[in-house]
Amino acid sequence: MSRTLCAVILVLIVLHQDNWYWNDGRLVFGFIPIGLFYHACLSIAAAVVWWWATKYCWPTDSYLAAEEESR
């Protein structure tokens, strides 16, 4: 699972380096430049991946450990 997560994060890093839409004048939905739309979709994908990483990597009993340390 952690290898899959790392691979997806690396794919997002590579996809963030977009040089192919810089000089493209097409519009999505008639008003959004395609480069802006691409980055909006990439941001949504990054948010989903970071949520997944948090759910996978965050310890479920961290609040119990913090309470035991404070005693």
Picking from 59, 56, 45, the residue whose alpha carbon sits closest to that of residue 4 is 56
Picking from 19, 41, 20, the residue whose alpha carbon sits closest to that of residue 29 is 41
Task: Please say if the pLDDT value at position 1 is more than 80.
Answer: no
Which tens digit of pLDDT belongs to each residue from 18-61?
888 888 889 999 999 998 999 999 999 999 999 998 888 877 77
* Domain residue spans of the chain: 2-70
Task: Please say if the pLDDT value at position 70 is more than 80.
Answer: no
Q: Return the pLDDT at 67.
A: 65
Cα 28 to Cα 26: distance, rounded to the nearest angstrom: 7
Cα 25 to Cα 34: distance, rounded to the nearest angstrom: 7
